[in-house]
């Protein structure tokens, strides 16, 4: 394993270390201590460059090196620290006794980074990838538009036009933005003032946590991370605000909640795995209100039944899942 033992330009040996070299280096450092890496090879009788000796000592021979795979706690620590520090491997290593920066870096590149990518996160920012987020938002807007299509009381074309307008104008087509824009849109002639859809959407808007972006598990943002790191209690709490999937679960051949992602990076699976549950936790009640509003405002069986149908099942399936994600694309 490792690099080819090609000889260096200056005749110094390169490539994997053999047992004899390891012993020479270890013996020398045991007697004289680490340091003086430039002169060390000569003094220790090694035909290696100082850098190579230093690296071998730090990454392999040091007595306090911890061997074996990373524990779930260590993985968690790496994820948290990386969210704050980025690729500062040496800084991260100081929080993991017995682990070297090289080892952590390798572990990140071969496991954690891939895991984040599969989950749809940008491994550098720890935030949902912008392309996926935008895709989800457009799908949601599309589904909402389709939903409105079935509402015969409304001037569907007018609403569509306004949706389109919003999509084109905004780079961040979050539903709240959309709602407020529609609500404040100077088109009184096109939209009835007592519009059940707008009423319900406005209620959604008031749910501060609701946005299509918020349906995606939010990564740890740096300020929070900083707080976490400075708070020993939180540090030790594995439930700190990482996305649920971040809670270290066996992966990569491993089983666990990531399994859907590992199956060919299927976007649909990924989306469904992205815990829209968090939306359904609060949305059903809103939908019920919507139904009530719809009926009281208009007394129209058609419109209300449409809404009731969405929320009427009251069971485990979410009406919002139908409204926003009941799409053939997501099937």
Q: Which residues of the chain form contacts with DNA (CB under 7 A)?
A: 1-4, 6, 8, 14-17, 35-39, 50-52, 54-56, 59-60, 69, 87-91, 101-103, 105-107, 109-111, 114, 252-253
Q: Cβ closer to DNA: 102 or 177?
A: 102
Report the alpha-carbon distance of residue 137 to residue 167 in Å, rounded: 10
> Where on the phi/psi map is residue 204: left (φ > 0), alpha (ψ -120 to 50), or beta?
alpha
Q: Cβ closer to DNA: 3 or 31?
A: 3
In the complex, what is the shortest distance from the CB of residue 245 to DNA, in angstroms, rounded to a whole number? 18
Contact yes or no for 277/283 (Cβ under 8 A): no
Cα–Cα distances (Å) from 25 to 14, 60, 192, in that order, read 15, 11, 83
Q: Cβ closer to DNA: 172 or 254?
A: 254
In the complex, what is the shortest distance from the CB of residue 313 to DNA, in angstroms, rounded to a whole number? 41
In the complex, what is the shortest distance from the CB of residue 9 to DNA, in angstroms, rounded to a whole number? 8
The two structure tokens encoding residue 237: 């709490």
Backbone phi, then psi, for 121, in 5-degree steps?
A: -100, 145
In the complex, what is the shortest distance from the CB of residue 79 to DNA, in angstroms, rounded to a whole number? 16
In the complex, what is the shortest distance from the CB of residue 271 to DNA, in angstroms, rounded to a whole number? 22
Report the alpha-carbon distance of residue 170 to residue 179 in Å, rounded: 12
Q: Cβ closer to DNA: 53 or 173?
A: 53
Q: Which residues are CB-neighbours of 101 under 8 A, at least 6 positions away?
A: 89, 90, 92, 93
In the complex, what is the shortest distance from the CB of residue 125 to DNA, in angstroms, rounded to a whole number? 14
In the complex, what is the shortest distance from the CB of residue 102 to DNA, in angstroms, rounded to a whole number? 5
Q: Cβ closer to DNA: 87 or 207?
A: 87
Q: Cβ closer to DNA: 54 or 321?
A: 54
The two structure tokens encoding residue 30: 């045991």
Q: Cβ closer to DNA: 59 or 142?
A: 59
Q: Cβ closer to DNA: 54 or 137?
A: 54
In the complex, what is the shortest distance from the CB of residue 3 to DNA, in angstroms, rounded to a whole number? 4
Cα–Cα distances (Å) from 102 to 56, 90, 96, 105, 126, in that order, read 11, 8, 12, 5, 21
């Amino acid at each position: 394993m490792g690099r080819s033992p090609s000889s260096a330009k200056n005749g110094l040996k390169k490539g994997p270390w053999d047992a004899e070299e390891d012993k020479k280096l270890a013996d020398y450092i045991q007697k004289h201590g680490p340091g003086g890496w430039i002169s060390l090879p000569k003094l220790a009788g090694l035909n290696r460059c100082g850098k190579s000796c230093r690296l071998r000592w730090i990454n392999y021979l040091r007595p306090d090196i911890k061997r074996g795979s990373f524990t779930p706690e260590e993985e968690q620590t790496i994820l948290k620290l990386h969210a704050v520090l980025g690729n500062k491997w040496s800084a991260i290593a100081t929080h993991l006794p017995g682990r070297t920066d090289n080892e952590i870096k390798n572990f990140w590149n071969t496991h954690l980074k891939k895991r984040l990518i599969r989950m749809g996160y940008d491994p550098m920012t720890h935030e949902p990838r912008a392309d996926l987020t935008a895709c989800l938002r457009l799908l949601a807007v599309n589904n909402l538009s389709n939903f409105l299509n079935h509402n015969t009381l409304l001037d569907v074309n007018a609403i569509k036009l306004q949706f389109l307008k919003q999509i084109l104008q905004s780079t961040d087509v979050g539903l709240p933005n959309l709602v407020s824009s529609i609500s404040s849109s100077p088109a009184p002639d096109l939209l009835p003032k007592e519009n059940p859809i707008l009423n319900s959407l406005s209620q959604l808007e008031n749910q501060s946590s609701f946005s299509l972006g918020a349906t995606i598990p939010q990564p740890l943002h740096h300020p929070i991370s900083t707080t976490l790191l400075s708070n020993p209690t939180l540090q030790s709490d594995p439930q700190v605000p990482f996305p649920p999937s971040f809670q270290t679960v066996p992966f990569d051949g491993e089983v666990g909640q990531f399994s859907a992602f590992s199956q060919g990076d299927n976007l649909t699976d990924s989306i469904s795995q992205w815990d829209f549950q968090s939306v359904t936790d609060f949305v059903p009640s809103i939908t019920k209100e919507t139904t009530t509003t719809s009926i009281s405002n208009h007394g129209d069986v058609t419109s209300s039944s449409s809404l009731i149908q969405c929320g009427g099942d009251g069971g485990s399936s979410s009406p919002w899942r139908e409204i926003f994600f009941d799409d053939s694309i997501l099937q």
